[in-house]
Structure 1
Amino acid sequence: MQRYFVDPGQIEGDTALLLGEDARHLATVMRAKPGDEFIVCDGSGGDCLAEIVNIESGRVAGRIVRRLASEAEMAWRVTVAQSLPKGDKLETVIQKGTEAGAAAFLPFVSRRTVVQYDARKEAKRHERWRKIAKEAAEQAHRSVVPDIAEVASWKALLARLPDYDLALLCYEEEGRRGAGLRPVLEQFGRSSAADGGGEAPRLLVIVGPEGGFDEDEARQAEAAGAVCVGLGRRILRTETAALIALAAIGYESGEMGEARHV
């Protein structure tokens, strides 16, 4: 069933509205007609099943049949901090990371970032990144569209580490030494279970650019509170690292079955 994210104001009382591109997609591409059903989401976990009552040019009106429980979000809220990679690789990270369950993305610039940051160009790219996240969230039947922050400096990124319950710096040197992600997540899972209830734990996964992080950056991150971890003994592409980390975190938090830490 088709799922669309809309502004909260488009869901009022027992009425849900699709406008613009979403309305055209449902009416023209999907060839929907009155009586057909679709799912509308406010982007914050409020999902509704709606029945089409009227179709006009650029506008579809639906009657809310019932509210739906949100069941597609990860138990641990993971933000992916990705150093700007070359080309359209960040689009891949956002698209696949959204499918994998990331709650937010935080692009940043580090020492070995090759891309020349241009605020004027990034404004346009940021809008495209948001669109990619929205479409991926719809495809993955998510209830929340991941937030995409403005591009940050390395210093600004480190200043945000206290906002998270666990910050992980993906560092290949730790992988070579066999210091992997698994024991860190296992310990975090046990401590989270011991705390019991409350808000979902907040994790930050920090991924470097094509050339990775240098030793000085790794030490700075540790001093700011991050834990340096390896993602195995193989060298991963920058657009692959976050996906591996998300899969491991999803497994450890119970995403693939019953939670391991209770």
Structure 2
Amino acid sequence: MDKLQRISEAIKSKKKLVVMFSGGVDSTLLAKLAYEALGKNAVALTIDSPVIPRKEIEEAKNLANLIGIRHEFIELNELKSRHLIENPPDRCYLCRKLRDNIVKNWARENGFDVIADGLNFSDLQDYRPGVKASTEDGIWHPFIDFEVTKEEIREYSRKLGLPTWDKPAMACLCSRFPYGFGLNEERVRMVEKAENFLRELGFREVRVRFFPYKTAVVEVGRDEMELLMGKRTDIVLALQKIGFSFVTLDLEGFASGKLNRTREGVSK
């Protein structure tokens, strides 16, 4: 019995399941497994928040429809939390606790006892405060329990015909700001617009980091830097029109979680 079969059996034993569903590669595979195992007793629950790109919300809708799973939304505005907008080093931990709380309330009100997410075994190799927070909150991590890596999730997704199998990693827009640099909706929207513009130009792996003095630090895949330099003038003009005063390129290239280096005690 392979890992997916074992996970499917574990899901069946839960009888009913809420999947915290973002539409990313991990939660999409989990939602498909849950629906195939439990049918109408599985629900995909998506948090609709200002710090989630609108395109991700729309894609989550389309993916849930493709899978066939029941899909529900909960609205949450983390930018109304005084602690979160200060952007402390434990922001991700605090945010995850907030999200878990509203999901648990929804599950309780709708007759679900078990909540699962798509955190995977590879996530344990990086600074992932969400793992700690969600474990404390009793969220089930089947991909961690059965030691399924990100690479395996992509391969399983490809074999199952899921369009997310090669989807680039995505994190909430708060991750574009160095710790201690305050968050607000205007800044978040600027980042979202800038990243949308770059993706429309054809870049797949994109981050626009927001630094003081309205400085945009653009990250793209190393193999896409030549393309970026060829469109340099258009990019600078577009990002300045969005509201950035300075537009710079990160020569290291795209890397998930790069701003974890701005945490106290982490080498820079």
TM-score by length of 2: 0.31
> Relative CO higher for 1 or 2, CA cutoff 8 Å, sep ≥ 6?
1
TM-score by length of 1: 0.32
Which structure shows the higher helix fraction? 2
